[in-house]
């Protein structure tokens, strides 16, 4: 069962909602890890290391722990190799899909970028894009398995 580990949270500078979100998500590496999990289906440490942006191992380890601490990412042991962890987005993490989508659209409107196909998909039907991302997450996560087992109990 995937559950975020409960660890004490870091003291935040203020309770302002924007400050809280920036302190949790405000660095590029956290957002790129979430992107890779959400859009590319990454689940292993090795996959994150092979991403286009080439994150350093120490930064990756720190960001994954931080995202787990805040309940955005959950871990479980790999059933094929108990020494490895599998990372998945929690529902809280998936709820970031509309936020990341808006960031992509903002970039498309104001900056140069290299993924016109993604922009085209989002602009054509943003709600369909978000529904597809969430459906893929449900299909590829143990959340679906847990929900089905709850229905049958």
CA distance 54 to 135: 28
Split at pLDDT 50, 70, 90, the class of 125 is very high
Q: Report domain extents, the chain.
A: 17-152
pTM here is: 0.82
Q: What is the pLDDT of residue 142?
A: 57
Residue 85 near residue 100, CB atoms below 8 Å: no
- pLDDT tens across 94-109, in order? 999 999 999 999 999 9
The CATH number of domain 17-152, selected from 1.10.10.10, 3.40.50.300, 2.60.40.1170, 3.40.430.10: 1.10.10.10
pLDDT on residue 149: 40
Asked if 33 and 48 touch (Cβ cutoff 8 Å), the reply is yes
Residue 153's pLDDT band, with cuts at 50, 70 and 90, is very low
- How large is the average pLDDT for residues 17-38? 93
Q: Is a pLDDT exceeding 80 seen at residue 130?
A: yes
Burial 120-150 (b: 16+ CB within 10 A, else e): eebeeeeeebbeebbeebeeebebeeeeeee
């Amino acid at each position: 069962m995937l559950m975020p580990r409960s660890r004490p949270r870091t003291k935040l500078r203020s309770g302002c909602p924007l400050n809280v979100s920036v302190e949790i998500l405000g660095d590029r590496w956290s957002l790129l890890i979430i992107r890779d999990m959400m859009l590319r289906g990454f689940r292993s440490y090795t996959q994150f290391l092979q991403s286009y942006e080439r994150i350093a191992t120490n930064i990756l380890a720190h960001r994954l722990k931080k995202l787990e601490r805040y309940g955005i990412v959950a871990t479980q042991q790999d059933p094929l190799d108990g020494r490895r962890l599998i990372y998945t987005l929690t529902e809280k993490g998936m709820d970031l899909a509309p936020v990341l989508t808006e960031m992509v659209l903002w970039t498309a409107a104001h900056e140069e970028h290299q993924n016109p196909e993604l922009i085209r998909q989002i602009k054509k039907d943003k709600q369909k894009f978000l529904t597809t991302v969430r459906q893929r997450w449900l299909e590829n996560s143990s959340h679906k398995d847990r929900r089905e087992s709850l229905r049958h109990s």
